[in-house]
Amino acid sequence: MKKLFRYFIPIAGLAIFVVIMLSGEYLKKPLDASEDVMSFVSTTIEDTKVEDWTKVKEDVYNLEHAWNRIAPRIQFSVERDEIYNIGINIARLKGALTSEDKSSALIELYELIENWNELSK
């Protein structure tokens, strides 16, 4: 019995860590509509294309709020730089929104999509 626990505890611990490290793809999925990052990105892209800056401001606020809810959940299963890059994209997007620069905003949104797709690879 003692020998069983000696082998079982380390193996169970390693199995738990492997599951946590590989769970990024599932943890980044939204649990409710307020966490759907990609939905907010696509609505922000559409509003940016028509240059409706008041809606874009609201979209970016919703996007940042959704990202702030997802980031702690995935922090152990993805690399820190990937989380940091998405945060930087949102900060640059807010800067482009302040100056109402359509091209910079679209560049940041499409880069954010690419960073999102690379989160769990």
Share of the chain above pLDDT 90, in %: 61
Please give the pLDDT value at position 103.
Answer: 95
Which of these, 44, 46, 82, lies nearest to 63 by C-alpha position?
Answer: 44
Q: Which residues neighbour 11 within 8 Å (Cβ) at sequence distance 6 or greater?
A: none
**How many Å apart are CA 40 and CA 29, to the nearest integer?**
13
- What is the pLDDT at residue 49? 95
Q: How many CB atoms lie within 10 A of CB 119?
A: 19
Q: What is the pTM of this model?
A: 0.84
CA end-to-end span of the chain, whole Å? 40
80-98 and 102-117 helices, crossing angle to 10°: 160
Domains of the chain: 2-117 (1.20.120)
